[in-house]
Structure 1
Amino acid sequence: MKKPLTLVFITIISLLVLLTGCQPKGESASEPAGGEASADQKEHPLANKKIALIMQINLGTFSAQYIEGVKEQAEKFGGDVTVFTSEGDLAKMASNLDAAINQKFDGILIDHGTKEALTAGIEKAEEADIPVVVFDADVEVEGVPVLQQGDEQMAEMTLNKLAEDAGGKANIVKIWVAGFAPMERRQIAYEQFMQSNPDIKEVASFGAATANTALDTQSQMEAILKQFPNEGDITAVWAAWDEFAKGAVRALEQAGRTDIKVYGIDMSDEDLQMIQAENSPWAATAAVDPKDIGRIQVRYLYQKINGESPEDKIILDPVFVEKSKLPDHSITTEELHEYIDGWGVSDQGYTADLKELEGK
């Protein structure tokens, strides 16, 4: 009896091997096709990291392009990004940060927020050996890099251009809001500028960060235009955020006020389209490419994951964009570097290890 049973067993095993060999081979989501490259990346100690992006507010095309830059760079490093949005609610932002720590992400990126809302959570993350890198928040935790855009320089660039275009004498509307670290830095430059330019007068000031900032700004700007209906009443608008600039531009265009120019800060594809529009009042802006901000922030996070110690304060170099320097045909921010030096080409934050990782 043993021989027939053994024969049956061998026959079954042979059939199973044959059938297994005939099955179609698919591509796993975690192991993409690519043979050796995929294997190399899987074995790299910095690959396959889970990254959390904690945002105070996700609003407009600037935020969308910033997120795109974060995801693009992380994916090149073999990582995966989860975005936590907080709708401007600082308590929710702190809760999101706590959730990312509890879920044991390999690294945490923070976009805006305040030290009061974030410091305890960041310290908790550091204690749990989860590296953190912050963008545009007034956080001061030792060993935690904080990126900022060179906000005072951006304000100076746009205000100096406003003064130059107006011949040193102007009535201006300021659109600004307190409570955000980059806004506070821009306000410092604004105050210094106004002290140095006594012939430039502020005739109105307003601003609020809301769920519909651009639309709300447009409504408020329309009301101000009714208060100052005559040419010369307002020379220019200085907007400390592109969402403010968009609202102001739309209000001016609807009112037909071609006598008033707008000078803004920040840049996105939507902003660029508005600046390029025929007879647009948007004369100039200063900005760092939002995609570059995301890419650079990820690079510094991976430096920390790699055991390195980047500096605590990292300033990104802004670029000045004038309407007069742009081509007649429509372009996107992907093409902007062809006309504006320094746009979207930063290698800041790269190390030899990160370049090797990206190459795999």
Structure 2
Amino acid sequence: MHDVKTTRPWALGIAAVAAAIGIAACSGEATSSGTGRTLGIVQFSGDDVYSNNALQGPAEYAESQGWQTVTVDAKGSVDGANTMMENLVTRGVDAIVVSVFPSSALGAGVAAARQADVPVANWGGGLADGVLFAADTALGDEIAARVVSDMGGRGDLLVLGYRPGLPCQDREKSLDAAAAGTSIKVSKQQITIPGAATSAAEATLGWLASHPKGDTPLAVWSCFDDPATGVVSALRQAGRGDVLSYGLNGTAPAVKLVENGELTATLWIDGPGQGEELAKRLIAHVDAPGSVEQEVIGGATQIVDKDNVAAFLEQHDERD
């Protein structure tokens, strides 16, 4: 556990001004003002609060170094992400940061970048040929161990995953490993993006119908916080205070739910800090190609629960 003070805002909103400059007209795009080189930023989805918040890190750092930024939205589509990357290369950006999509699925976009000598970093998607830097956003072991401990190694657990996203893939593997060898019965369902909270609420309500209140420990684990908010909504609607619930990322809405006693715990991850480190390495590489080695960047984390949420909020400047 790493308890690190941060002053970064949690609310979604990479500083940008809407612009129409011909990059994938259906994507939705924002660009910053300024002079110098340009960093292209590919959002996983405009609906994904946390990953977009994390992308504030590279945007703000690049702009502080005199770079312009151009932000596009892949809308949760890997094909869209590849197209966005190709279009950014055509536009002449000097570096690209993409998020969440596995680098192994970004073949066309990465190939276009490599051909143009445009370095690529991936927040959450791992390394690959042509992807020089990546942020490790899996970090799921700690919260997985907490789930198993809270359940006492027995009971029924609903797992809400999202296989297209590498962070969710790896986090689910952590949970599987923690639950292996216990008496916990695991049920799995996939959420949808867009609509993570809604699909999670629907899945939870369906699961609750076959898991009435009793002596058996019950819990719902979401691979990130957006569906966890949907889980809480479902538990509230069903009047079920007996079910434990967990998320990952430590978004402001999730932390608020912990504070209210409605979400059992979330794992806060300093995504913007990771994003800033990615931008530092990209810019260093552009300034001196080959001077920075391929690298996976870790990050500060902390489980936030009812016992420490007040202290956590005192350390962080933003509640919403």
Which bracket does the TM-score occupy, shorter chain normalised?
0.7 to 0.9
Conserved 8 A contact 1:272-1:332: no
Greater strand fraction, Structure 1 or Structure 2: 2
Q: Which of these two proteins has the greater Rg computed from alpha carbons? A: 1
Greater helix fraction, Structure 1 or Structure 2: 1
> Could you tell me how far apart the structure 2 residues matched to 1:140 and 1:101 are?
18
- TM superposition shift of 1:129: 2.2
- Which residue number corresponds to residue 69 of structure 2? 81
Among 194, 217, 222, the residue aligned to 1:211: 194
- TM superposition shift of 1:176: 1.0
Q: Which moved more, 1:326-335 or 1:121-130?
A: 326-335
- Residue aligned with 1:285, SS: strand
- Which residue number corresponds to residue 294 of structure 2? 312
Offset from partner CA, 1:260-306 (integer Å, 9 cap, x none): 111221121222212211x31x1222232222232222112112112
Pairs within 5 Å for 1:1-360: 48-115=36-103, 117-141=105-129, 144-149=132-137, 151=138, 154-196=139-181, 198-202=182-186, 204-233=187-216, 235-277=218-260, 279-280=261-262, 282-307=263-288, 308-323=290-305, 324-327=307-310, 333-334=316-317
> Could you tell me how far apart the structure 2 residues matched to 1:137 and 1:297 are?
13
Task: Give the share of equivalent positions with the same residue, in percent.
Answer: 19
- TM superposition shift of 1:332: 8.6
Conserved 8 A contact 1:263-1:284: yes
Q: Which moved more, 1:53-62 or 1:322-331?
A: 322-331
Amino acid at match of 2:232: V
> Could you tell me how far apart the structure 1 residues matched to 2:317 and 2:192 are?
28
- TM superposition shift of 1:333: 4.6
Aligned length: 283
- TM superposition shift of 1:239: 1.4
Structure 1 residues 309, 134: CA separation in 2 closer, same or farther (over 3 Å shift)? farther
Query: TM-score normalised to the size of structure 2?
Result: 0.80
Structure 1 residues 56, 64: CA separation in 2 closer, same or farther (over 3 Å shift)? closer
Q: CA RMSD in A?
A: 2.4
- Which residue number corresponds to residue 8 of structure 1? none
Q: Which has the higher contact order (CA 8 A, sep 6+)?
A: 2
- Residue aligned with 1:126, SS: helix
Amino acid at match of 1:252: L
Structure 1 residues 178, 334: CA separation in 2 closer, same or farther (over 3 Å shift)? same
Amino acid at match of 2:191: A
> Could you tell me how far apart the structure 1 residues matched to 2:120 and 2:130 are?
11
Unaligned runs of 5+ in 1: 1-46, 337-360
- Which residue number corresponds to residue 3 of structure 2? none
- TM superposition shift of 1:97: 0.7
Offset from partner CA, 1:163-192 (integer Å, 9 cap, x none): 222333232111112122222222222222
> Could you tell me how far apart the structure 2 residues matched to 1:169 and 1:134 are?
37
Offset from partner CA, 1:6-41 (integer Å, 9 cap, x none): xxxxxxxxxxxxxxxxxxxxxxxxxxxxxxxxxxxx
Conserved 8 A contact 1:58-1:87: yes
> Could you tell me how far apart the structure 2 residues matched to 1:93 and 1:328 are?
39
Query: TM-score normalised to the size of structure 1?
Result: 0.72
> Could you tell me how far apart the structure 2 residues matched to 1:330 and 1:56 are?
28
Amino acid at match of 1:226: A
> Could you tell me how far apart the structure 2 residues matched to 1:62 and 1:208 are?
16
Offset from partner CA, 1:92-115 (integer Å, 9 cap, x none): 211111111111112111112244
> Could you tell me how far apart the structure 1 residues matched to 2:222 and 2:259 are?
18
> Could you tell me how far apart the structure 1 residues matched to 2:151 and 2:167 are?
26
Unaligned runs of 5+ in 2: 1-34
Offset from partner CA, 1:239-261 (integer Å, 9 cap, x none): 11112211111111222211111
